[in-house]
Structure 1
Amino acid sequence: MELSSAFFKENFRLSKDAFMYVLDNINEKCPYQLSSSISPMLKLCCTLRFLAHGSYQQTVGNDFILGFAQPTVSLILNEMLPILETTLCSVWIKTDISEEHKQLTRRKFYTNSGIPNVVGCVDGTHVAIIAPSVNKHLYLNRKGFFSINAMIACNHDMVIRCVDARYGGSSHDSFVWNNSTLKTYLERTYQRGDHNSVYLADSGYPLHEYLWTPYRNALSGTVESKFNKKHAKARNVVERTIGVLKCRFRCILGERKLRYSPSKATMIVNVCCALHNICKQYDVNDPEQETFVDVVVPLEPVEENFSGSAADRRRRQIANSL
């Protein structure tokens, strides 16, 4: 902790205050099987260093700050990732928010885009992994590399409200969505009478009363085209959120490749999302995105026809009012 604040954040991504918060919460949960000589603080530093830079374990271990051998780094990650996931994710990634917070979020989105009732945006991003030992076909995406298709949902402030990184890269965005806790939550709250809480998504997702997607093939100058432009403006926040997340924790950048099983890759994504939200809470500056290069897997639009549905009528009503 004797490092300067700037150097500390550069290496571990968290501020010192955020780091101490995490350390205080995991301190008693850290096992001492590995070595009583390695403190929870050093274990956390090692894990954050790996997440922040995405280097090979040997490189992280040889870092002048830490000085661990590669096998030690591997053991530390095996210990720390489950602890961080169970301790942080349920606390810091919350889909259910208060009505007061919903109202604030609706106002922010409306001020930015003119679309009412929006409380969040959702998109998918691919996290490259090595070819798994089983069910390889489930992880080979349309771009030709193995990946996890991670669904990320966020609010107006780039706080992540939901992450689902359980499915392989061959899975369509709509499949991930249909099996997500976010869809279940929004469906349940809509049925209970909350018709004013809507997420926005691109055309890779199905249209619902609580999930608005853009119009297909909208002609320039039409109300559909105007809706799509405002929709894209509002939805840009989730693209920026993914960019900040991957620049902050470069282990999940497209130029990297997680050399772990899909289940551990899922855990890594979950932990990164929770730590991202902690950074937002502690006002840690977002990383610069000029160097952000992510592999884009081509969008595969949903083929279903929603014309005339209740969701389409509701979207039409909003489009006509803009």
Structure 2
Amino acid sequence: MSQTSISRCIHRVTDAINNSMFTSKVKFPMTQLECQAAKEIFASAPSPFVAGTIGAIDCTHVAILAPKNNESNYVNHHGYHSMNVQMICDPNLKMLNVNAKFPGARHDSFIWSFSAARRVMQRSFETGNHNTFLIGDSGYPLEPWLMTPLPNEPEGTSKFRYNEALCKARNPIERLFGVLKGTWRCLSRQRVLLYDPGFAGRVVNACATLHNVRLGDQTTDFDDRVVYDPEILSTNDDSAAPSSVAKRVQQRIIAIFLNIRIT
């Protein structure tokens, strides 16, 4: 086949996956039942965090051809052109959300601030659901619906154990990036998507969709299920600033680890 024919096929298949499969196969928990199912999956993982966790979040760079417009916006801190793609997954490496719309120079926290997933989480919190949150690294802001680690905590303290549990629980998102780029080599650093950013984002969406299709509806049976009491996380002060509420939620979670040693 000619290069033109191959390119045309890639565009048609990618568009078909985006238009007919993406939204049904990559779904962020929206309803109460979906959130509860996501919480149970995380609570049953080999490295659980606390009841209420529904997903781990992070960003990864996907190399692209230097675009003609706003080229400098796509040069990331590693020095090459990319898109900074936000993903959220569960412990089974199933993708719950993909945001492949931002250039490589944008910081993870900036992308999160404009994310539809953040709006969903904030709206859920503001309507009274105070026990549903994501977990991320220190590149994200601490919010009532997003827990992040604390810097430089002494070993053996409850804050250190909180950090240790959070980092172990968010490990699936790091593994996801490795699996995704190992399977779909067009997303790896050694390859470059030779398309404009808009279509490159659709290629990422297509790969994410096929990844979830490949996983199917499989779940993993875990031993030693751990479920922490959600009541300790509740807060009834809706009038306080989100940052203050987030710190109080974090402190209540840290209290869980006062007498728990993570192994």
- TM-score range relative to shorter protein: 0.7 to 0.9
For 1:308 and 1:162, the matched residues in 2 are separated by: 24
Q: Which residue of 2 aligns with 1:148?
A: 83
Q: Does residue 191 in structure 1 map to residue 101 in structure 2?
A: no
* Structure 1 outlier segments of 4+, above 4 Å: none
Matches within 5 A, 1:34-49: none
Q: What 5-or-longer segments of structure 2 have no aligned partner?
A: 219-240, 258-263
Q: Which structure 1 residue ranges, 5 or more long, are not aligned?
A: 1-67, 284-305
Query: 1:22-37 alignment to 2 at 5 Å?
Result: none
Cα deviation for residue 72 of structure 1 reads 0.7
Contact 2:83 2:197 in 1 (8 A): yes
1:279 aligns with 2:204: no
2 CA distance for matches of 1:119 and 1:142? 30
Partner of 2:236: none
Task: Quote the residue 1:79 is aligned against.
Answer: 12
- What is aligned with 1:103? 36
Structure 1 residue 213 corresponds to structure 2 residue 148: yes
The partner residue of 2:166 within 231, 238, 251 is 231
Contact 2:143 2:243 in 1 (8 A): no
Q: Which amino acid aligns with 1:249?
A: W
Secondary structure at 1:113 match in 2? coil
Q: Which amino acid in the other structure matches residue 116 of structure 2?
A: T
In structure 2, do the counterparts of structure 1 residues 134 and 114 end up closer, same or farther at CA, with 3 Å as the change threshold?
closer
Match of 2:198 among 253, 263, 267: 263
1:125 aligns with 2:60: yes
Q: Which residue of 1 aligns with 2:231?
A: none
SS of 1:230's equivalent?
Answer: helix
Tell me the TM-score normalised to structure 2 length: 0.84
Shift of 1:308: 7.0
8 Å contact from structure 1 (residues 92, 274) kept in 2? yes
Q: Tell me what 2:139 maps to.
A: 204
Q: TM-score, normalised by structure 1?
A: 0.69
**Distance between the aligned counterparts of 1:180 and 1:308, measured in 2?**
18
- Work out the CA distance in 2 between the residues paired with 1:110 and 1:140: 38
Kindly report which structure 2 residues correspond to 1:33-72, keeping only aligned pairs within 5 A, or say none: 68-72=1-5
Aligned residues: 233
Match of 1:115 among 43, 50, 57: 50
Q: Which residue identity lines up with residue 211 of structure 1 in the other structure?
A: L
Stretch deviating more after TM superposition (182-191 or 110-119): 110-119
What is the RMSD computed on CA atoms of the aligned residues?
1.8
Larger radius of gyration: 1
State which drifts further: 176-185 or 240-249: 240-249
Equivalent position amino acid for 1:263 in 2: G
Partner Cα separation in structure 1 for residue 69 and residue 242 of structure 2: 40
- Give the match for residue 251 of structure 2: 316
Distance 1:165 1:308, change over 3 A: closer
Q: Are the equivalent residues in 2 in contact too, given 1:121–1:201 (CA < 8 A)?
A: yes
Q: Which 10-residue stretch deviates more, 134-143 or 242-251?
A: 242-251
Partner Cα separation in structure 2 for residue 162 and residue 108 of structure 1: 16
Question: How far apart in 1 are the matches of 2:243 and 2:135?
Answer: 19
Decide whether the 8 Å contact of 1:105 with 1:156 is kept in 2.
no
Distance 1:155 1:114, change over 3 A: closer
Structure 1 position 241 matched with structure 2 position 176? yes
Note if contact 1:121-1:199 (Cα within 8 Å) is conserved in structure 2: yes
What CA distance in whole angstroms lies between the structure 2 residues aligned with 1:259 and 1:307?
42
